Structure formats: C-alpha cells, structure tokens
Amino acid sequence: MLEEFLGRPEVHKRMQLDYVVLELDTDRMTHGKAIYDRMKAGRNGGLPWLIVVDNAGKELITGIGPKGNIGAPVQPEECEHFVAMLRATKQRLTDDDVATIAAELEAHAKSKRRK
C-alpha cells in the first residue's frame, strides 16, 4: 500500500525533490535485517517502519506517531503524522507541495480505513 501511494505521479515528483525512498527487504536483501535493526534501534512497530535521515545518516524523524508506528498510513492520525514528518524535514518542498501530497494521501487512504 505504501509503494502504491508513493508511486502516484503527483506524489513521486514532489517527494523526489527532498527524499530518496529506500526500501529494505529484511528477508531477501543481504544485510537488510541488520540495517533495519540498526535504524530501528529497538523501538516498537511492525513493517513498514519509516525513518527520515539526513545525508550523513542522522535520524531526523520516524514514523512513530502519537498512537505508535504509522506503517503505511491510512488512519487520519497516521496520515497527519506522515505529513508532519514532511513538514519537519522538507528543504525544497513548498507548503503547496506538502498540501498536494497530503491530499493525495487522503485520497489514497480513504477507502482503506477501518470503519
């Protein structure tokens, strides 16, 4: 689900202004599990587990929201935290870009929400 959202054309072209999306396959990638464990640093939460790091690998923010790991965000509070992650770490993204990504996330998530 997260890949589908990030692959939306309006999301992808904006995200690439500030972010390199890296997916680790903990089962199939050499050292994937070790990298995941190091980045997660013992914190709770399942997969997907999101983290934004700077170009030196320093953690800037994680996908751990007020109610825990947002994973592939679909619930309103998860979507809010994802957008907060962008706002907190953006460099070239404009407020309009973030608003577009937020609208795309809402459109993507709406049909996937628990009732």
Range of the domain at 27: 2-110
Q: With a cut of 90, say whether residue 114 has pLDDT above it.
A: no
The answer to whether residue 26 is domain-embedded is yes
The answer to whether residue 43 is domain-embedded is yes
| pLDDT classification of 5: cutoffs 50, 70, 90 | very high
Q: How far apart are CA 1 and CA 84, in angstroms?
A: 19
At 35-88, the pLDDT tens digits run: 999 999 989 888 899 999 999 999 999 999 999 999 999 999 999 999 999 999
Which pLDDT score, from 0 to 100, does residue 55 have? 93
- 12: Cβ contacts below 8 Å, ≥ 6 apart: 6
Number of domains in the chain: 1
Q: With a cut of 80, say whether residue 115 has pLDDT above it.
A: no
Which pLDDT score, from 0 to 100, does residue 46 have? 87
The answer to whether residue 80 is domain-embedded is yes
The answer to whether residue 82 is domain-embedded is yes
The answer to whether residue 115 is domain-embedded is no
At 7-43, the pLDDT tens digits run: 999 999 999 999 999 998 999 999 999 999 999 998 9
36: tokens are 């995941």
The answer to whether residue 52 is domain-embedded is yes
